[in-house]
Amino acid sequence: MTAIDPQLLEQLSAWMDGELPADEARFLQRRLRNDVALREQWERWQLASACLHGQPVRTMDADLPARIAAGIAGPADERTRRPALGWLATAAAAVFAFALLPRMLAEDPGRTASPVAPVPMASVPAPAPVSPTPDVVALEPPAMSPLPSVRDFPLVDTGGKGWPRSPLLADPRARDGLLVRGELPWRGTVAGGRPLPLPADEPAPETADE
């Protein structure tokens, strides 16, 4: 081990106490960057200082600082690259989707004569509120297209009525009749009744014996 210049050590001692003038501190810090022996001296003085303060210490292995230095040089770079790769993948997916969108619209010639004009997204009206007795809107089976298009889901003018539901729900009286006819024979039984063949979109009953 080569001896360290005592003047440098005295500067280190003063710097440790925050008492070294700025110009000397700059010089010392440049030395510290490349002088491991000086940094080891700093470590021992800090340990002695902790002992004098009565602070509990536990001597670490001599190679711990080197292991930490190796640790921050390796996996840290990998971790900082990961988010960048994630953003890159997201951006690539977005560009790809944008590039495909016009092609999907153009590849559907059978739908170009659709009576529903394309509506810009910004001008899409808010969905109409669902009426308590929704009316039935008969939908014809859509023409098959090789690729699904946004025009396969046109914004049909329902005249302010709610989303089409099961034909059984068109007439409330018919629905109530169906419920009564289906339930009467089993009312009062131990099992509480057989599940009714409910129309589509009808919420399931909470209890079976109601």
Provide the binding-site residues for another protein, judged by CB under 8 A: 9-10, 13-19, 29, 32-34, 39-62, 64-65, 67-69, 71-73, 75-76, 79
CA distance 158 to 8: 88
Please, what is the minimum distance in Å from the beta carbon of residue 90 to another protein? 23
- When the beta carbons of 26 and 194 are compared against another protein, the nearer one is 26
- When the beta carbons of 40 and 152 are compared against another protein, the nearer one is 40
CA distance 50 to 156: 78
Please, what is the minimum distance in Å from the beta carbon of residue 9 to another protein? 7
Please, what is the minimum distance in Å from the beta carbon of residue 23 to another protein? 15
- When the beta carbons of 41 and 169 are compared against another protein, the nearer one is 41
Please, what is the minimum distance in Å from the beta carbon of residue 93 to another protein? 28
- When the beta carbons of 81 and 187 are compared against another protein, the nearer one is 81
- When the beta carbons of 36 and 137 are compared against another protein, the nearer one is 36
The DSSP output letter for 198 is: P
CA distance 169 to 98: 41
Please, what is the minimum distance in Å from the beta carbon of residue 35 to another protein? 9
CA distance 200 to 140: 18
How deeply is 9 buried, as exposed, middle or buried, from its count of CB atoms within 10 A (0-12, 13-18, 19+)?
middle
CA distance 185 to 194: 9
CA distance 202 to 187: 20
Sign of the C-alpha dihedral computed for residues 163, 168, 169 and 170 taken in this order? positive
